[in-house]
């Protein structure tokens, strides 16, 4: 029950440690007949890849995905689609001096506490390297989504440290986000400032955190299940399951708690495109846990990276006080590389709920409108 599977209908199981043989994902439940675009998977992986710029970890991984099963003559079979990415630049021995000391705010201690042992090379299973498998799976999910409907899932860096961008979720585009790939912030001025902020942190051997926002446009009303498996609940789980995530908001989030009900409510209005829309979108596209056809909007808080290149107090495996100084190759700021990961998790949740909905209700669209 070690929790490495996500989803109910579109089920993704990931495997792999940071410095083991490979990381990978098995997708069980992928619709058959999808013409799989491998190039598109590599594009997503390239956005997450280490070494993609001078501002991220310099570990060199080409992150080439090998499809081991589930595809025949270029199309998905409907059977498990297994993908593997070799760890080529693993350097486990670099971590041996840290094997007996717990890096602060890393998962070293808790893995020992839980399992009685851990892969001390890099973060082992807790390493962000695992997210390469999520991105590969999410890239498949995005292709499925595109067959199901005209859905667009887009994330960007909204804040780094105190540098806040100004972005209109209704207008933001992938081009704008990728115009500044070093930080993936579509506000050019803020992006420049963010870049400086990250450079300063790196220079100081320190790190910075921030916020990523994500929008999903074109999601039809009806995705999400009552009660526990609400669409926003599953999105929240998906996001908080990411390394370094410490919070999530849907729609108005924490700020909305300061409004009154009259201010906060989204009035329904006739809508040419949707049939029924809302005047405002404080609900973030989800009401009662189910999509309402408006853009889904969420934000994720990422704490600053725990690996700082300064001496820190800690304890060893015997519980004795000691100090530790980081080794290994790390990012001063995780957010630019986390943008495709947030999109991947969003795609996984949306596809899973779409297939669940289709199973229970059928594709003949339920007709909410009565004349």
- Measure the CA–CA gap between 360 and 49, rounded to whole angstroms: 38
- Which is nearer to its own copies, 144 or 154 (by Cβ)? 144
Contacts 24+ apart (CB under 8 A), 312-315: 312/104, 313/104, 314/101, 314/102, 314/103, 314/104, 315/101, 315/102
Phi-psi region of 360 (alpha: psi -120 to 50; beta: other; left: phi over 0): alpha
- Which is nearer to its own copies, 173 or 269 (by Cβ)? 269
Residues 47-86 that bind its own copies (CB under 8 A): 66-73, 75, 77-82, 84
Minimum distance, C-beta of residue 149 to its own copies, in the bound complex (Å) = 12
Please say whether the beta carbons of 348 and 7 come within 8 A: yes
With binding defined as CB under 8 A, does residue 254 bind its own copies? yes
- Give the range of 49-57, 165-173, 179-187, 287-295 binding its own copies by CB under 8 A: 287-295
The pairing of beta strand 275-278 with beta strand 163-164: unpaired
What track of x and - describes contact with its own copies for positions 104 through 123 (by CB under 8 A)? Answer: xxxx-xxxxxxxxxxxxx-x
- Give the range of 40-48, 52-60, 185-193, 244-252 binding its own copies by CB under 8 A: 244-252
With binding defined as CB under 8 A, does residue 169 bind its own copies? no
What track of x and - describes contact with its own copies for positions 119 through 148 (by CB under 8 A)? Answer: xxx-xxxx---x------------------
Please choose, from the candidates 366, 304, 355, 288, the residue with its C-alpha nearest in 3D space to the C-alpha of residue 149: 355
Residues 340-369 that bind its own copies (CB under 8 A): 355-364, 366-369
Structure token pair of residue 134: 């999520």
Please choose, from the candidates 215, 233, 213, the residue with its C-alpha nearest in 3D space to the C-alpha of residue 224: 233
- Residue found by looking up tokens 């669940």 in the block: 356
β-sheet bridge partners, residue 215: 154, 297
With binding defined as CB under 8 A, does residue 371 bind its own copies? yes
Strands (E), 134-253: 152-160, 163-164, 210-217, 245-250
Residues 188-227 that bind its own copies (CB under 8 A): 201, 204, 206-211, 220-227
- Measure the CA–CA gap between 225 and 363, rounded to whole angstroms: 16
Q: Which of 290, 342, 344, 347 binds its own copies (CB under 8 A)?
A: 290
Structure token pair of residue 288: 């009662």
- Give the range of 55-63, 135-143, 177-185, 236-244 binding its own copies by CB under 8 A: 236-244
- Which is nearer to its own copies, 81 or 182 (by Cβ)? 81
With binding defined as CB under 8 A, does residue 328 bind its own copies? no
Please choose, from the candidates 88, 190, 69, 100, the residue with its C-alpha nearest in 3D space to the C-alpha of residue 132: 88
- Which is nearer to its own copies, 51 or 237 (by Cβ)? 237
With binding defined as CB under 8 A, does residue 44 bind its own copies? no
Minimum distance, C-beta of residue 138 to its own copies, in the bound complex (Å) = 13
Residues 291-310 that bind its own copies (CB under 8 A): 291-293, 301-308, 310
Minimum distance, C-beta of residue 175 to its own copies, in the bound complex (Å) = 26
């Amino acid at each position: 029950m070690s929790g490495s599977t996500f989803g109910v209908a579109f089920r993704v199981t990931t495997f792999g440690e940071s410095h083991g043989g490979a990381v990978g994902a098995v997708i069980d439940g992928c619709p058959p007949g999808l013409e799989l675009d491998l190039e598109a998977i590599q594009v997503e992986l390239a956005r997450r890849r280490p070494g993609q710029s001078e501002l991220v970890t310099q570990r060199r991984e080409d992150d080439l995905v090998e499809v081991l099963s589930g595809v025949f003559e270029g199309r998905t079979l409907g059977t498990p689609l297994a993908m593997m990415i070799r760890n080529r630049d693993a350097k486990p021995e670099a971590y041996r001096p840290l094997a007996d000391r717990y890096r602060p705010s890393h998962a070293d201690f808790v893995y020992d506490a839980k399992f009685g042992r851990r892969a001390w090379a890099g973060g082992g299973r807790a390493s962000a390297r695992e997210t390469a498998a999520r991105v590969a799976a999410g890239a498949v999910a995005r292709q499925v989504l595109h067959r199901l409907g005209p859905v667009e899932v887009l994330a960007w860096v909204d804040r780094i440290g105190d540098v806040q961008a100004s972005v209109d979720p209704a207008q933001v585009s992938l081009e704008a986000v990728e115009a500044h790939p070093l930080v993936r912030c579509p506000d050019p001025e803020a992006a420049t400032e963010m870049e400086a902020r990250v450079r300063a942190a790196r220079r100081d051997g320190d790190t910075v955190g921030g916020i990523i926002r994500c929008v999903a446009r074109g999601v039809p009303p009806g995705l999400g299940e009552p009660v526990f498996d609400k669409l926003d609940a599953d999105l929240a789980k998906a996001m908080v399951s990411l390394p370094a995530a410490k919070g999530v908001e849907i729609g108005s989030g924490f700020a909305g708690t300061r409004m009154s009900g009259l201010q906060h409510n989204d009035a329904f209005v006739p809508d040419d495109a949707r049939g029924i829309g809302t005047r405002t979108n404080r609900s973030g596209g989800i009401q009662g846990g189910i999509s309402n056809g408006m853009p889904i909007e969420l934000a994720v808080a990422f704490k600053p990276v725990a690996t700082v290149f300064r001496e820190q107090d800690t304890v060893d495996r015997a519980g004795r006080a000691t100090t530790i100084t980081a080794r290994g190759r790390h990012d001063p700021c995780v957010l630019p590389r986390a943008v495709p990961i947030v999109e991947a998790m969003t795609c996984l949740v949306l596809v899973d709920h779409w297939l669940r909905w289709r199973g229970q209700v059928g594709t003949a669209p339920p007709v909410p409108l009565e004349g």
